[in-house]
Structure 1
Amino acid sequence: MTIGPGIGLCHGSLRDVSAAELVRLAGANGFCSVMLPPVPRASAAEAAGFRALLEANGIRRVVLDGAMAALPRCPFAAQMGWTVDQHFEVAERFAVDCFSVPHYGGDPATTVAELADALGPFCERAARGGRTVALEFLPGTGIPDLERAVRILESVGASNLGIALDTWHWARSRASLADLRALPPGAIADFQISDRSAAQDTLPDSVQWGRLLPGEGVLPLAEIVGIVLANAPQLTLNAEIFSEARQAQSPAEAARDIARALKQLVGALEAATPSPPSPSSSPSSSP
């Protein structure tokens, strides 16, 4: 039995790669989804041929990371010079299917109403291009946890708006498996996976760094993946592993190791999932 539609590779898991390099490495290692940075690095020729490159490498889904310019009280986006128009220009150029929207560095005092007012028009514009919007919660921001993210979703009421679930921030926010199970069906719009050591909670909190390959830490990843795919069966398992160990590797080595870890996790899930009985094994009924 196959678990989910495949695996994905996020730009932050590799050291300094262009958009085209990310796609080629993803294709070479069996990934079917990629996450690009807010401003992908690409030559004019690479950008012009990007859709063909995606098709040639079997990439069926593209997520744009850090599409946060629409959010209020988010100085990081302004410091980087990002704009909403830029996000949509990048989406057109690089065949983006989904915007991942974190309130990165945002003011924790930002209200649900402020965030909903900003997200409504953004979601409408995204919907016109057939794109989804995945709202990412991060502790210490105006969207610190699942509960706040769900409130914003309910306030906006856009059919193309969901939650970006990152296992790292799920653990940082002290959420539970029960919290995930309680999400409305289809609420998860993007899934970012990494592992976490048992000692991580005793270390200074890190928004990004310290992530481990799936299977190297103690997070209940099998249970999380099962819940995610029950909520949104179409999602890929996207490896977002900001890690000093991965940065020390060549991009090719890191992509290979990440793919191996994800495939081992998927294989274990498939082995643990009973296959439905075949018609020939069903008891025959008497006339």
Structure 2
Amino acid sequence: MHFPREKRVMWLSQVRSIPFRQRVELTSKAGFGWLSTSPVDFDQTVASGLSAADQRRIAADNGVRLSYLDPLTSWVPDWRPVNEDADILPYLDRSPDAFFRVAESLEVDKIHLIGTFPADRYGMGELIDHFGAICDRAAKAGMGCTIEAMPLWGLRTFEEAWRIVKGAGRANSGIVFDTWHYVRGGRNDALFAEIPVGVIDTVQIADGALVCPPDRTMARDCLFNRVPIGEGEIPNREILALLAKHDHIPSVGPEIFSSALDALPGEQIMARILPGFEEVVAAV
């Protein structure tokens, strides 16, 4: 399957160690029209001397759109995960007001939510109400609102994310589907035939072990130990074929969080992640 640049998303994960300008240039050169970002990265980029206006200009000059400001965790009041590593918490800690200030400064078209709250802290009705409220706030700012299930914390499965989006019924909402999280959280392939086309907003492709190694938490495994597509055990071709069968791949991109990639220069990172990504999407 061919995905033109307007349907290719470069997720911040694999380019987080690269300075902003080079990151945008590499994204454009690789044929991606969209680049995700985060509040923490925005702060670091501003501290390096590039204002929000500078960041928007650099992206526009390279034909790249900043999108998917990620992650918003405080869409529920009690968002703080239990016993999370201290170095991970700053990445998650941002109030809705502070998050929306960054979103509006960068003029992103979409914000992205994850559920880091403790397991069983909220009932489904509460989650639907909280999600709907953030969708409404995003809509007033002209933004879409996506949500992603991660088996690391409280919102664990694709099915739960679908129940929230379905229950909220907001036109500006959708699901970010991650193959790594889908496998780790427990597959439910029957849902692909149930959910309407358009509910899945975009698809992230990642790779790694099928089961979390016993010497690390799942959060650390997710954020530092993924591998280039094709070098792990995630059955990406099989999952993507099922998604494509039901027309659930409106756009696609790699999402490889990796300490090993962080240590490489930008061109070498691209050389590591692009071949496996291009091969698997071409095979869909």
Which TM-score band applies after superposition, normalised by the shorter structure? 0.7 to 0.9
Alignment check: 8 A CA contact 2:56 2:66 kept: no
Deviation at 1:168, TM superposition (A): 1.1
Cα distance change on mapping 1:3 and 1:30 into 2, 3 Å: closer
Matched residue SS, 1:257: helix
Indicate how the Cα distance of structure 1 residues 222 and 15 shifts in structure 2: closer, same or farther if over 3 A, else same. same
- Give the match for residue 92 of structure 1: 104
Aligned partners of 2:182, 2:93: CA distance in 1, in Å? Answer: 29
Give the Å deviation of 1:114. 2.0
SS of 1:177's partner is coil
Question: Which stretch of structure 1 is more off in the superposition, 116-125 or 173-182?
Answer: 173-182
Q: Would you say 1:260 and 2:271 are equivalent positions?
A: no
Deviations 1:255-276 (A, max 9, x none): 332223222223333xxxxxxx
Contact 2:11 2:255 in 1 (8 A): yes
User: Shift of the alpha carbon at 1:233?
Assistant: 4.8
Q: TM-score, normalised by structure 1?
A: 0.81
Secondary structure class of the residue paired with 2:10 = strand
Gaps in structure 1 of 5+ consecutive residues:
270-287
Q: Check conservation: 1:72, 1:114, Cα contact below 8 A.
A: no
2:27 aligned partner: 26
Q: Which runs of 4+ in 1 moved over 6 A?
A: none
Is the Cα contact below 8 Å between 2:68 and 2:112 reproduced in 1? yes
Conserved 8 A contact 2:206-2:229: yes
> Shift in Å at residue 241 of structure 1?
0.7
TM-score after normalising by structure 2? 0.82
Using the TM superposition, give the Cα deviation of residue 171 of structure 1 relative to its aligned residue in structure 2, in angstroms.
Answer: 0.9
Q: Out of 183, 193, 213, which is 1:203 matched to?
A: 213
- Distance of 2:282 and 2:53 partners within structure 1: 37
Query: Using CA pairs below 8 Å that are at least 6 residues apart, which structure has the higher relative contact order?
Result: 1
Q: 1:68 aligns with which of 66, 73, 76?
A: 73
Distance 2:191 2:108 in 1: 29
Aligned residues: 265
What SS does the aligned partner of 1:30 have? coil
Compute the displacement of 1:140 (Å).
4.8
Paired position in structure 2 for 1:219: 234
Partner of 1:59: 64
Partner of 2:149: 137
Deviation at 1:228, TM superposition (A): 4.0
Q: Assess, with a 3 A threshold, how the Cα gap between structure 1 residues 42 and 132 changes in structure 2: closer, same or farther.
A: same
CA deviations 1:78-123 (Å, max 9, x no partner) are 966511112211112223122121112x111121122222222210
Quickly say closer, same or farther: Cα 1:202–1:15, change in 2 above 3 A: closer
Distance 2:98 2:248 in 1: 29
For residue 61 of structure 1, report the CA deviation from its aligned partner: 5.2
Distance in 2 between residues matched to 1:141 and 1:159, nearest whole Å: 26
Corresponding position of 1:234: 250
CA pair 94-263 structure 1, distance change in 2 beyond 3 A: same
2:149–2:161: 8 Å Cα contact kept in structure 1?
yes
Alpha-carbon spacing, 1:138–1:213, altered in 2? closer, same or farther (3 Å): same
